[in-house]
Structure 1
């Protein structure tokens, strides 16, 4: 259990690096990000990895295999957080990867590949509103339009790079090529209740959900609450509320996940009929076709509601990441790793949450190992895993890497 205890202790140490002393907040290209990279780099070096920070701010490390310059098996996750985060989302995967390398470093001369570990800089998209920027940089999927993104203080992404000590012109130095990797494995808390409900410590991921995010606007006409008869009202909030209920109905009916997480009512007076409502939609599903069919139904519902209530409806897509299937060979290695811990029939599941593998798949096949989390709680200070489950995850992760070595 000593290795697992070290992972638990390091999770606490990493969680102490926060912009807010009372809540865990660590976002892209901040002093907290820099401090976290430095701490993670020290642990990588202790495990036997040579380390560098790439041109996108990802913290990287490498252990050579039986000969120099072999393609690498990439292990990792992210170290940025949402506001008021828990201490295991992303971070646990990085720490498990480092610990696996520490276990294998004396056997590196037997490995038919190098091992690299990456702590991605920006998976959540908290600061600039665009998720997966760290892994999209590594996989060469950078969009130069992102340089103009601004945080809530008006600082552009390009300015933040410079403030962090990075040169935007050198960003292509972070790009990697498919021939540099044999695959990508990520361990992550499940962020759902299915493992706990099944009384399983670990699961193997079959695919990562495809997600699309939108900003919706419903426009009516503001007016005095007392002086406007119902038959003359164009209440944007009533129309938006009706659509929110329809989103839930359509999502349940079509077995997708639709969430309205943000809603702003304007002008916002207690005695004023709402003239405008801005609200969000996060729509995800195991398969893109199911997600997109649900979106079409939601758009039709919005059109009907707006026409009936004499409102205007507008939608702007802010983010899209299509579903990703996990590689069958890598999946089989993860399953073998789980079996090595005594679980004869590994539980397979699709990930309802997005992960860095959705970007990394552009340069490497991917697979994921899920770890049970209490109550399925994530993106919240109540995130919780047990030391016993971490110990089992370490054994399974190490066994999965060795299985891949045997396959090759």
Structure 2
């Protein structure tokens, strides 16, 4: 029997409530970080949820949970959907989870309605999408794409534990993480349902967004070196204060984001002094910052602009500065064909929508190397995400699932050829 909208919403509410039970009680919000005990327990629940929906389930060598709804033509390339169920420290109940529960529900709706796809449908709960103590996000999708490196496995967390060791402790073989057979086959498309994590859809009064591009992310650590002095005796005009230089740099980063001509943001996330003494002028300070945009011109120029401005300001304070820049991911455009199919699906269902960029990164970034990629966004209340206040109405999620089902159906049919 085909599920009704009320049944879908009831299952969504139940699933979100069930998953919210798996959290680190010692941390704020809904904390379920990769490799943790709550995360391990939650994935046992996810496997059963997939099986209850009629999916054949495996856990691949990268730790991804993959549920398969068999199509009529085994040799046809699979359509893939899904997201993740881990959270940031102090996170919420919807980021990633909507895409996993939504994908499972979409598969259930197709099966119960008697809709047999030509292509296999794979619903994936990717391992460890969120940032973690090892400083590497999207572990499962990165592995599936063959992008996880030996250098990545040597990354250490705050305890000195290597990422490779964390995988071993979790029961995964570090030598097999990129041996993911389903991802080595030709894939038809990847479509990810996700909360927007920003305010645009709510502000426009629209229930759906079709993603145009996923932001590029450039991160840097600036190390400021000044001179240590007694805070009570060194005159203000005669100081080489590394903290002052770092404070100027924080403001420079903010100004760069505020001055972006289109979509661009810039954030300083941490400023740390090596000295813990309250009466010493700081001589060594580390500042962690990032810039994001889907505008390639702005993003390509921001590195040089910030480096020059911060260095010049630091020099005025007699402080030296060194930069360590890294690219978290480049700008990734959604596939135009998948965008059109998702937009057409919304139109068919009479759901208002808008094209929208993603200011957050997603597993879709890495899946884009394997298949034509697209994303569907549903609204986030007040644009809140990565915090306990994160919220998306069940009715909005259910509409997103309707659009996801129609998009998958269109990808499977003549429109997807």
TM-score by length of structure 2 reads: 0.93
Distance 2:214 2:332 in 1: 5
2:132 is aligned to: 126
SS in 2 for 1:173: coil
Do structure 1's residue 395 and structure 2's residue 402 form an aligned pair? yes
List aligned pairs for 1:14-33, cutoff 5 A: 14-20=19-25, 23-33=29-39
8 Å CA contact 2:242, 2:285 repeated in 1: yes
8 Å CA contact 2:82, 2:103 repeated in 1: yes
8 Å CA contact 2:33, 2:128 repeated in 1: yes
TM-score by length of structure 1 reads: 0.95
Q: What is the CA distance between 1:320 and its match in structure 2?
A: 2.3
- After TM superposition, what 4+ stretches of structure 1 lie above 4 angstroms from structure 2? 106-109, 175-179
List aligned pairs for 1:138-157, cutoff 5 A: 138-157=144-163
SS in 1 for 2:177: helix
Do structure 1's residue 297 and structure 2's residue 302 form an aligned pair? no
Choose the corresponding residue for 2:279, options 234, 246, 271: 271
Distance 2:169 2:145 in 1: 24
Q: What is the CA distance between 1:268 and its match in structure 2?
A: 3.4
CA-to-aligned-CA distance 1:66-109 (integer Å, 9 cap, x gap): 12243111100011110011000001110000000001125677
CA-to-aligned-CA distance 1:169-221 (integer Å, 9 cap, x gap): 22232265564311110011101000000011111110000001111111111
Do structure 1's residue 370 and structure 2's residue 377 form an aligned pair? yes
Equivalences, count: 407
Do structure 1's residue 250 and structure 2's residue 256 form an aligned pair? yes
SS in 1 for 2:123: strand
Do structure 1's residue 39 and structure 2's residue 45 form an aligned pair? yes
Distance 2:113 2:338 in 1: 21
List aligned pairs for 1:82-121, cutoff 5 A: 82-106=88-112, 110-121=116-127
Distance 1:404 1:148 in 2: 40
1:13 is aligned to: 18
Distance 2:113 2:350 in 1: 24
Distance 2:351 2:110 in 1: 23
1:51 is aligned to: 57
Do structure 1's residue 234 and structure 2's residue 236 form an aligned pair? no
**Cα gap change, 1:195/1:91 in structure 2, threshold over 3 Å: closer, same or farther?**
same
Distance 1:109 1:186 in 2: 20
8 Å CA contact 2:207, 2:351 repeated in 1: no
Do structure 1's residue 336 and structure 2's residue 366 form an aligned pair? no
Distance 2:183 2:20 in 1: 32
1:309 is aligned to: 317
Q: Unaligned 5+ residue runs, structure 2?
A: 1-5
- Cα RMSD between the aligned structures? 1.7
8 Å CA contact 2:74, 2:119 repeated in 1: no
SS in 1 for 2:269: coil
